[in-house]
Amino acid sequence: MTETELEDLVDAMTLEEQVSILSGEDFWSVPAVPRLGVGKLRVTDGPNGARGGGSLIGGVKSASFPVGIALGATWSVALVGEIGAALADEVKSKGAHMLLAPTVNIHRSVTNGRNFECYSEDPILTAELASAYVTGLQGQWIAATIKHFAGNESEIERTTISSEIDERSLREIYLVAFERAVKVAGTWGVMSSYNKLNGTYTSEHNWLLTTVLRNEWGYDGIVMSDWFGSHSTAETVNAGLDLEMPGRTRDRGDKLVAAVREGTVKAPTVRERALNMLRLMDRTGALTDTRPFAERADDRPEHRSLIRRAGAEAAVLLKNNNVLPLTGAGKIAVIGPNARIAQIMGGGSAQLNAHYRVSPWEGLVAALGEAQLTHAPGCTNHRFEPLLKGQFKVEYFANETLSGEPAHVGEQEDAQAFWIGEVAEGKVDPLQFSARLTGSYTAKESGEHRVGVHSAGFAKVYVDGRLVADAWTNWTKGRTFFEEGCDEVVGVVVLEAGRSYEITIEFATKDFATLGLAAFAVGIGFPLGDKAIAEAARVAAEAEIAIVFIGRNGEWDTEGSDLSGIVLPGRQNELVAAVAGANPRTIVVLQTGGPVEMPWLDDVAAVLQAWYPGQEAGNAIADVLTGAAEPGGRLPQTFPVKWTDNPTNSQDVEVYPGLDGKVRYEEGVFVGYRHYDKHGIAPLFPFGYGLSYTSFALSDLAVDDGQFEADGSVTVSVTLANTGERPGVCVVQLYVTDDIASLDRPHKELKAFAKASLKPGESRRLDLRLDARAFAFYSTSARHWLVEAGDFTLRVGTSSADLPLSAKVSRSTTLMLPV
């Protein structure tokens, strides 16, 4: 429709009809307006897939793509654009019109539980990749929803905490990706964050949503709340929040109609919000979409191939003492807690029910054959006891006391549930019910077992009628289920191998803080001890090469919970030390959502960071290990030697994790590698770092600064040559330094990059273009971007710590740029 036709349509709507499309009808849709033929808009969670309208557990199967930090590690604008286009297909399979992605918050700390979902610590790398993702997605008429706007760099008290960020840091670091997505990619959706920004909830932040987003950047899409992230009626509507999610409405509907009648919200403001919604519906086809809702589990071969390729391109080779790629290797010991378990994604709203999961063991078996592989787990790395699986009968009660006859009886296949929205086919109130699950567990080992339960609600676990784990009597809020759940409560019970035990789980809902959900998970584990580590060392000693698969999983790297540090959980460091002591040709494969400390680094032959690369994890990792694919990744986040080196390390807890409802971004613009440069801290591995299976050389730096004085633009050219014997990829990075600035600026800042694939002996001339913003800082006094007169140094290389080529450009006047 034309804009005029959309305006005619919104004017044909009654006030009540306009208001109706400003809040969700249910968890995943906006209501239709049948009288005027306006269809229903449907959304689905992302960003590493399209889950559809189901729960976080189970549901229709979906393709699982590499997580955000893995895409950040690719440094490939083209690849991320390709993934965006593929995700549009996935969204269409789920009957939706809008993907709640990408996530572009900055890696401020190394312990943010959601770092895995975000691209990078650097705003330019994040902005380039986010724009490609949005363009790829919307090129197929599926709306992007860039999130979380803004200042959501921690999961601690995230729904209430105030991120205290000065305007310069906001403009130069935290808003850059959003700005680029609006001005360059033309995103159709923005999601406000849960937190407050400088004391005001972002969902009702007029400066953020109207002054900056709409007036300065010219945004014409919609702003939606995060789920349950809006807290008012007039304040959110007047500030610029178009859509309250999810439904049913809490603060709109009749309340908003009344606010218009009372004059606290003007009718033209509601019309503007509704017009924004209609424009979005028109862009995505939802406006005229009358098809019956259906979700499909489309397992596309081309997406399988893309995910596998992207996983390899994300893998970062951190160390290699001539053991990789594996060529002509004899017996290989495959060791570690992540060897036979496919760790493909992080936790929280990004998780989905993948079509399949390929473990590293399975990937190596497919590549090398099982005959030359041996295995030992060595230790565990779970945060919660391993999920209890099996058939469970579920009795639902329309009360919170498990009393009377069940309102509904069902079945489920494991001891976990995530109830949100409709429960028990609508026969109980989803916020006020109880449930009893009964099933059985057959022990595989004799001895002491650990029974764990964590729940958003009250829960008890009985084994043969004996209460073993009680998360009911003294329930205390913890860091699970988006901060609505308790920490895991663990009980101990002695079991006999081969014997079957009756398991009973009782659950009841409780009042929620922010998110209206009910959930629990129950696990039973048999601890591994010294013998398991000794056995792993023995297996390693008998092999020519040992590969240790360690790291974390989606229980640790998850929405709703920050990490307590970056030491590997459990006894994994002990395991690596024991294996490396038994076999000097030890390769470590890490799967984490961010940095870890590596006390064993000097003792191992190679380290590969594989992140969470999606459903093809094992195949992608095997491709890199065997040399079928190049390790194409470079670090999107600095790896510090220890946690205390990172930018949020401070004696003041208000800086991190926060105090009295505030978290103060005291480091300002000195986040990521800027922090390490400023304080002279040598990282374990620098930003942008990664090795190849070949070698490269940079030469012949040339600078065209003919327009620098006039408009601030500069073009930098450099020759990249593959000087090795294999094809490979290299990421060439360009950093800018303001030699003498009127305020404290970072020592250097990434402003352009290019990724190139070259054959042996091939060379290529690369052009890196800089606009005036690449040289500017934001002046809070002038309220403009400023390029000051003076000298700027341009540095080119392959990481923030390896920049062998440099040149200078100069200008004699100050250039003022609009916001």
Task: Give the residue from 379, 350, 359, 382 showing the smallest Cα distance to 556.
Answer: 382
Task: Give the residue from 226, 508, 523, 562 showing the smallest Cα distance to 385.
Answer: 523
Burial 77-113 (b: 16+ CB within 10 A, else e): bebbbbbbbbbbbbbbbbbbbbbbbbbbbbbbbbbbb
Around Cβ 271, how many Cβ atoms within 10 Å?
16
One-letter amino acid of 195:
N
Pairing of strands 146-149, 98-100: unpaired
534 SS3 class: helix
Q: Which residue has the tokens 């609006």?
A: 182
33 SS3 class: strand
* Spatial contact of 554 and 347, defined as CB atoms under 8 Å apart: yes
Rounded to the nearest angstrom, the gap between the alpha carbon of residue 78 and the centroid of all alpha carbons in its chain is: 20
Cα gap 237→210, rounded to integer Å: 11
Rounded to the nearest angstrom, the gap between the alpha carbon of residue 64 and the centroid of all alpha carbons in its chain is: 13
Of the residues 122, 226, 251, 677, which is catalytic?
A: 226
One-letter amino acid of 317:
L
Q: What element of type H or E holds 237?
A: helix 234-239
**Any bridge partners for residue 718, and if so which?**
766
419 SS3 class: strand
Cα gap 137→295, rounded to integer Å: 19
The answer for residues whose C-beta is within 8 angstroms of residue 531's C-beta and 6 or more apart is: none
* Spatial contact of 183 and 683, defined as CB atoms under 8 Å apart: no
* Spatial contact of 43 and 98, defined as CB atoms under 8 Å apart: yes
Pairing of strands 373-376, 332-335: parallel
In what order do the strands lie in the sheet containing 815-817? Answer: 777-779, 784-787, 815-817
Task: Please report, in angstroms and rounded to a whole number, the separation of the first and last CA atoms in the chain.
Answer: 31
Rounded to the nearest 5°, which phi and psi values hold at 224?
-115, 155
The answer for residues whose C-beta is within 8 angstroms of residue 162's C-beta and 6 or more apart is: 195, 196, 197, 198, 199, 661, 662, 663
Going 248 to 250 to 255 to 256, the CA torsion angle's sign is negative
Q: What element of type H or E holds 82?
A: helix 77-93
Cα gap 113→48, rounded to integer Å: 16
One-letter amino acid of 686:
P
Active site residue 220: no
In what order do the strands lie in the sheet containing 162-164? Answer: 200-201, 196-197, 162-164, 662-664
Q: Which residue has the tokens 């409802």?
A: 661
Two structure tokens written together for 797: 């290389």
In what order do the strands lie in the sheet containing 500-508? Answer: 408-414, 389-397, 434-442, 500-508, 458-463, 466-471
One-letter amino acid of 451:
V
Cα gap 510→515, rounded to integer Å: 12
Residues tagged active-site: 226
